[in-house]
Structure 1
Amino acid sequence: MEGDVKLATVEEAVAALRGGRMIIVVDDEDRENEGDLVMAAEKATPEAVNFMLREGRGLLCVPLPRERAKRLQLKTMIEPPEDSHETAFTISVDARWGVSTGISAADRTRTILVLADPDAGPEDLTRPGHVFPLIAQPGGVLRRAGHTEAAVDLCWLAGLEPVGVICEIMN
């Protein structure tokens, strides 16, 4: 690596997520060759969401395990995914309660927190919305080396709900 770039260890990344901090996860140059801002969904704040949107400028998504997607009745937009990386986008959602239009950082944070809540059910969400859940492959990064699986795996390793928030960093 050139310059002063220091890659964190998995342990450092897990500690950062546990502490409510954001990390950057990069994938292989043979895959998407990009970095995503990543944080634990249960630690999301309007300020953090606004930072991700303003500085990352990519699509804000919420990776979660397949079991949670099933429980929340989140179905993929298309089955099987047709993109070359097989990203499992679901129908977009908003929180049913505690939001106005759904688009503000505060409203998106409320939706993210609902998706991270282990007691939430499908009745707690409306469709379509402004937050895009992504279904992680069972087996995590060992099965699919994507940002979706990395976020879920890292949150799980941190002892948190296995639900992340990711935003691609656009150049």
Structure 2
Amino acid sequence: MTASSTPVFKFDSIDAALADLKAGRVIVVVDDENRENEGDLICAAQFATPDMINFMAVQARGLICLAMTGDRLDELDLPLMVTNITDTNQTAFTVSIDAGPELGVSTGISAEDRARTIQVTLNPATKPTDLRRPGHIFPIRAKAGGVLKRAGHTEAAVDLSRLAGLYPAGVICEIQNPNGSMARLPQLIVYAQHHNLKIISIADLISYRLQHDRLVYREVVTKLPSQFGL
């Protein structure tokens, strides 16, 4: 095969990724090489089943986290893990959680328990007292404004779920190579192909939002005086 005939890699479209998320599938999301330079598995939180959590634990090997809006985390009284975030990327972890045994969770660590905790967290009837702290699910507070304010996997997960018309929360897990090192774009491309997953970039998601989002809203209508009168 000559150099001219070598296939050129192209990220999947955001619309294709949204369709997969809406269908309950997981996708690969890659950030900028000058940021974390990592890829995460992301699924819509409302579709986080035990099988999905197990796939992330076995096939991605990273930390399984729950990206959520600040409003919902405030409703559940889940404060930041630390008040002074010194992490370079300003990842806003809250205290970790498990749902209680009265809600069907035992030790909290099994795939079934973690999936159950996620669903309990999304349930609008859940109260702060229904969640044990610390636990085995790690909520992360997405910045208001999403990827337009912070180009992270946390914001991408919430934005993608919202754009898919789903509950605005996502489950994310960093993808590691089998030897424990972090998978970079060349490995992530092979990974996505092997598992038949859509792969997108946060840069493309930012462009998509800039093209499709309504960023200016009419708050009030009034008549202002001018040289021509009211």
TM-score range, shorter chain: over 0.9
Q: How far did 1:6 drift?
A: 4.3
C-alpha distance after superposition, 1:35-69 (max 9, x if no partner): 00000110111011000011110000000000001
| Among 145, 158, 178, the residue aligned to 1:152 | 158
CA distance in 2, matches of 1:143, 1:153: 11
TM norm structure 2: 0.71
TM norm structure 1: 0.95
Conserved in 2, the CA contact under 8 Å of 1:25 and 1:35?
A: yes
| Among 70, 73, 80, the residue aligned to 1:76 | 80
What SS is found at the alignment partner of 1:118? Answer: coil
Unaligned runs of 5+ in 1: none
Residues 1:21 and 2:22 aligned together: no
Conserved in 2, the CA contact under 8 Å of 1:42 and 1:117?
A: no
The corresponding residue for 2:45 is: 41
The corresponding residue for 2:104 is: 98
Deviates more, 1:109-118 or 1:153-162: 109-118
| Among 74, 83, 90, the residue aligned to 1:86 | 90
Q: How many residues get paired?
A: 170
Deviates more, 1:114-123 or 1:139-148: 114-123
CA distance in 1, matches of 2:119, 2:53: 12
Q: How far did 1:109 drift?
A: 0.3
The corresponding residue for 1:167 is: 173
Q: How far did 1:5 drift?
A: 4.6
Residues 1:119 and 2:135 aligned together: no
Counterpart residue type for residue 63 of structure 2: L
Unaligned runs of 5+ in 2: 1-5, 178-230
The corresponding residue for 1:12 is: 16
Say which structure is richer in strand: 1
C-alpha distance after superposition, 1:89-112 (max 9, x if no partner): 011000112011100000000011
Counterpart residue type for residue 72 of structure 2: R
- Pairwise CA RMSD: 1.3
CA distance in 1, matches of 2:11, 2:52: 22
CA distance in 2, matches of 1:107, 1:37: 19
Counterpart residue type for residue 133 of structure 1: P
The corresponding residue for 1:133 is: 139
Rg (Cα) greater in structure: 2
The corresponding residue for 1:32 is: 36
Q: How far did 1:118 drift?
A: 3.0
The corresponding residue for 2:205 is: none
Identical columns (%): 56
Detail structure 1 runs of 4+ shifted over 4 Å in the superposition. Answer: 2-6
